[in-house]
Every structure is written in structure tokens, then in C-alpha cells.
Amino acid sequence: MTAILQQPRPAAPAAGAPLLSLAGVGKRFGNQVTALDGLDMEVRRGEFLSLLGPSGCGKSTALRLIAGLAEPTSGRIAFNGNDGLAAGKRRRLIGPASAGHPAIGFVFQEPTLMPWASVFGNVHLPLKLAGTGRREAEPAIMEALELVGLDGFRDAYPRELSGGMKMRVSIARALVTKPRLLLMDEPFAALDEITRFKLNNDLLQVWRQLNCTIVFVTHSVFESVYLSTRILVFRARPGRIAAELAIDPALERDEAFRTSPEYAALCRQTSTALAAAMNAG
């Protein structure tokens, strides 16, 4: 483990306390593929945590385990200090803004929109599944669309949108329930760089505005340094954490930061950690 850089400075009183923790978590698929082995990590309230690593290092698997979309083969996942609960119950412990709504927002690598529904209908989905009608849900839907800058496209269909706009709809759908925890699985990997930079900035703004916790899976060093307050570097075969880096949350993340020597130094450090992790694997 290499603990480097500045200590993260808590942004709010509640920030920094663990929201959930994984202890000795392993995940095997069948009898051959060991995706994760002995993974210890925690997610702290209010942080922007990136899971960085090469393909096949189990970072996406870790995200799915946290979401409760898969069960670990070994080890424990505890939410707010509670463990030994079924995935659905665990998720609820994170505590949504209002009861009955999913506590976790999940953004996939692909936009994963329903092609038969309009932008409005797609963003409505999580609330609809929780039993909230169209009219009742409308303010929340429009608020989420405004957050991602798509309030003018409520009646458009996914096929009419560009790749970046589809991803914005996908993010709005994850935000509409006001989740305390937002899980993102390489959401911008398929986008061009210009769109990606723009969405990075917008995502940071949403994160500050909603004061939520984000776990962000990526294989881009530059993206992880730009966005995160903390980075966990994964190594592959078996997947586990090789290094941890903290980045001062007080740093202003803007275009000037992208070209600053500080950013370059952080990227170099992260790259070195990633290279070491890959050699170790």
C-alpha cells in the first residue's frame, strides 16, 4: 500500500464517515475465474471515489457487489455498520431522500435507455417502479433533467439524441430518486474526449449540488485524477487493491486545473501506481 499526497480535508461535518465497507470480499465465477479476492475497502460519506485499474481487474464486479446486483462468494459487505442482510435490505440502509425510493443510483457503461420511451419516460422509470405516478413525479423528473441540461428534450426519443445526450439522460435517471450513493461503471468510456470533458465538469457540479457520494469505475488515469477525492488502484488476477491515493477536495477542478503542473504531477503519480499494480499482477 502506498499512502501518499495530502490528507483529504472534510468538506462537511458528516463527510468522511464510512457509508459502507467491504471486508475480505471475494467473488468467483464458476470454479475458474476469480474476479476478486480479499478485497478490503470502504466508501466514505460525501467522497468522490474512483476505482482505477486495467480491464478484468474486478473493479466493475466490486461495483455490482456494492449495488447488490451480485452476492460475494466470500467476505462481508456492511452498510452503515450493518452486515448480514439481504442485498435489497442493505441498499435501503443507505437511506434515500424519501422512503420507498431506491437508495442507489447506477449508471452503466452504455446509456441503457428504453428505446420505446421518451426522455421523460426514461427518467421517470425508477420513480414509476416505486409507485410514483407521472404527474406526481414530474417536478423531480424536470429537476433531474435540468441538472444535466436536458430540460428542453423531455419529449425526444433516445434515437434522436447524440451519444453524450443519451448518457446525460442515463445520469438524470440515476439522479431522479436523489440517491445518497451514485455508482458509475465507466460511464464516459464510449464518448469522444470533448463530450467527456464536458460531462466530467457537469458531473462534478451535480456531485457538489446534491452532496452525494459517488463511486466511479474508470480505466483512465486522467479522468480519475480530475474527478476524485480518492483513488483506489486495482490490480488484476486476482482483483484487489494495490494502492490508494488521496486528492485534496479543495482543489478547484476546472480547465485551468487540467493544464496545471499540479494535475500533471498527480497524474504521473497515479500512472506510476497503476504501472506498479499491473506489473505486480
Cα–Cα distance, 170 to 193 (Å, whole number):
18
- Give the burial class of 163: count Cβ atoms within 10 A of its Cβ; 0-12 exposed, 13-18 middle, 19 or more buried: middle
Write phi, then psi, for 48 (nearest 5 degrees): -110, 100
Binders of another protein in range 184-203 (CB under 8 A): none
Nearest to 28 by CA among 69, 78, 73: 73
Only one of the segments 64-72, 78-86, 186-194, 269-277 lies at the binding site for another protein (rule: CB under 8 A); that segment is: 64-72
How far apart are CB 129 and another protein at their closest, in Å?
4
Query: What is the x/- site pattern for another protein, positions 106-125, by CB under 8 A?
Result: x-x-x-x-xxxx-------x
* H-only helix segments in the chain: 59-67, 87-93, 119-129, 134-147, 163-175, 193-210, 221-227, 255-258, 261-280
Choosing from 81, 84, 88, 261, the residue that interacts with another protein (CB under 8 A) is: 88
Choosing from 72, 126, 238, 249, the residue that interacts with another protein (CB under 8 A) is: 126
Cα–Cα distance, 78 to 91 (Å, whole number):
10
Crossing angle for the helix pair 163-175 and 134-147, nearest 10 degrees? 120
Q: Does 72 bind another protein (CB under 8 A)?
A: no
How far apart are CB 155 and another protein at their closest, in Å?
10
How far apart are CB 216 and another protein at their closest, in Å?
17
Residue 38 exposure: Cα atoms within 13 Å on the Cβ side: 6
Q: How far is CA 43 from the centre of its chain?
A: 11
Question: Based on CB atoms, which residue is closest to another protein, 60 or 270?
Answer: 60
Question: Based on CB atoms, which residue is closest to another protein, 108 or 257?
Answer: 108
Choosing from 67, 182, 203, 236, the residue that interacts with another protein (CB under 8 A) is: 67
Choosing from 157, 164, 251, 281, the residue that interacts with another protein (CB under 8 A) is: 157
Binding site for another protein (CB under 8 A): 67-69, 88, 91, 102, 104, 106, 108, 110, 112, 114-117, 125-126, 128-130, 157-159
